[in-house]
Structure 1
Amino acid sequence: MRVYLWQPLLALYAGVLMAGSALAGEVQVAVAANFSAPLQAIASEFEKDTGHKLLASFGATGQLYAQIKNGAPFEVFLSADDSTPAKLESEGAGVAGSRFTYAIGTLALWSAKEGYVDDAGARLKGNGFKHLAIANPKTAPYGLAATQVLAKLGLSKALEPKLVEGQNIAQTLQFVATGNAELGFVALSQVYKDGKLTRGSAWIVPAALHEPIKQDALLLDKGKDNPAAKALLEYLQGPQAAAVINSYGYQL
């Protein structure tokens, strides 16, 4: 009788794969629009490393908050600020003690045109443009930061007639990218990768000109019993995710 050692090994390997597949799950994530590119990069690595699938919905932080409060099936919230997750936690919609800052955002004044925006932001003080795009400051933290910059520079009143408001930071970027606004305040992560601009020209706004854009993560009540949700939050605090986050111009 011949004994083939590979047969029990193959059976064992198949059992491991089946067990891994059984343990793999999926997590529904509400994500601030500025973090779309980094999260997509992180998601592929997260899925390869853990087997869990990440399903993301992107939007303005205020809009996502409203959806969560209205019963949307999100299990993890990646906000563009720290106050909205804190509010959800205090309201009982988030798991107490699960909140942490996963990134600190950077604001940029950006134009799709090469050389149009100088690295000191002097273009803002001139009258050589018709439209300046910002995100809705009531729902988008990057939009709020943009208004704080204009106030700090004493330009709020002068530039108010030129403002074009996007529903979120993704729409704001689209206004500038399509030429509907010559320049706009966007998240640096939208136009930056691996230490350099990916297109156009930009002024990286000094952090002293606006309140810190601390972006907090929160395990939502709907995800408290989901291993995939907990695995994602743990993964976001690890070295692989940190490298991706840094590469898009965020601070940690």
Structure 2
Amino acid sequence: MNVRVRSFAPTALAALIGCFAVSGAQADDVQVAVAANFTAPIQAIASDFEKDTGHKLIAAYGATGQFYTQIKNGAPFEVFLAADDSTPEKLEKEGEIVPGSRFTYAIGSLALWSAKDGYVDDAGKVLEENTFNHLSIANPKAAPYGLAATQVLAKMGLSDKVKDKIVEGQNITQAYQFVSTGNAELGFVALSQIYKDGKVSSGSAWIIPEAMHDSIKQDAVILKKGANNPAAKALADYLKGPKAAAIIKSYGYQL
């Protein structure tokens, strides 16, 4: 009896084993509530996450405060990437998360930005000159970046001087859109919205020193609805890994 044995090159054999491993693993979807400032990074991370784990990330974007209300009202989110650390901590105390799952995935930076080249100087003097008509910020009650913006204005002694010029977005995405569309000459945005690979990608900006506002520590948690979903745990682990870290840093966040 003749038996034919097919041989494989080492690299081909490794690839074949990898295919069997991926096809044999259970692939799941994970529903994720993502703070609006982290939209671009999580979209980049999602692609690698799906390739590397087989799991699929389904994201919704919005303000942290609004997500808190939705979670408390039974929204089907399994993982929450907040724009602060206080909201996840509150959910932890209220028993809404998987115990021990809370961690800081990024530390955000605030920027004063204009879509116009040369409009914003690198020390924020444009605010003191007060020659603009509209200043965009995110809702400080729902968005941590909006709260940080109000802290900067207070520190500069400008809160009362510019209060009639402020246009408020529901979240940091809307605050950015007011500026990008020209409805506001400048505004406070998340650095990640205008920053890529070590530089501001368009317009002009002042990257605001951290000392001018509370630290924007952004925490992630696995919510109770994700307790039995392997994809939720896989995503939390992935966000702590080197691939995600490289992407997060490329958008101007600290780790």
SS of the residue corresponding to residue 77 of structure 2 reads coil
Displacement of 1:5 in angstroms is 3.2
Superposed, which structure 2 residues align to 1:124-143 within 5 Å?
A: 124-143=127-146
Match of 2:83 in 1: 80
Counterpart of 1:5, as a letter, is V
- Partner Cα separation in structure 1 for residue 22 and residue 30 of structure 2: 20
- Residue 4 of structure 1, CA deviation: 3.9
**Are positions 1:225 and 2:231 aligned together?**
no
Query: Structure 2: how far apart are the matches of 1:13 and 1:112?
Result: 46
Query: Counterpart of 1:141 in structure 2: which amino acid?
Result: P
- Establish whether residue 19 from structure 1 lines up as the match of residue 10 from structure 2: no
Superposed CA offset, 1:134-179 (max 9, x none)? 0000000000000000000000000000000000000000000000
Change over 3 Å in CA distance of 1:122–1:228 after alignment to 2: same
Candidates 231, 244, 247, aligned match of 1:244: 247
Say if 1:76 and 1:120 are closer, same or farther in 2 by CA, change over 3 A. Answer: same
Q: 1:26 offset after TM fit, Å?
A: 1.2
How far residue 95 of structure 1 moved from its aligned partner, in angstroms, is: 1.3
Percentage of matched positions with identical amino acids: 71
Structure-1 residue corresponding to 2:194: 191
SS in 2 for 1:158: helix
For the residues of structure 2 that align with 1:157 and 1:216, how far apart are their CA atoms? Answer: 32
| Partner of residue 121, structure 1 | 124
Query: Structure 1: any 5+ residue segments left out of the alignment?
Result: none
Report the counterpart of residue 164 of structure 1 in structure 2. 167
Q: Secondary structure of 2:24's match?
A: helix
Letter of the structure 2 residue corresponding to residue 154 of structure 1: G
Q: Which residue of 1 aligns with 2:203?
A: 200
Counterpart of 1:215 in structure 2 is 218
Runs of 4+, deviation exceeding 2 Å: 1-7, 11-18
The residue type paired with residue 215 of structure 1 is: Q
Look up the match of 1:3: 3
Question: Measured at CA, do residues 146 and 90 of structure 1 come closer, stay the same or move farther in structure 2, by a change above 3 Å?
Answer: same
SS at match of 1:129: coil
CA distance in 1, matches of 2:172, 2:36: 6
Cα RMSD between the aligned structures? 1.9
Secondary structure, counterpart of 1:120 in structure 2: coil
What is the TM-score of this pair, normalised by structure 2? Answer: 0.94
Shift of 1:198: 1.0
Q: Counterpart of 1:30?
A: 33
In 2 relative to 1, CA 216–17 (structure 1 residues): closer, same or farther, beyond 3 Å?
Answer: closer
Decide whether the 8 Å contact of 2:22 with 2:54 is kept in 1.
no
Name which of 157, 160, 167 aligns with 1:154: 157
Mind listing any 5+ residue stretches in structure 2 that lack a counterpart? 8-12
Q: CA deviation at 1:97?
A: 1.3
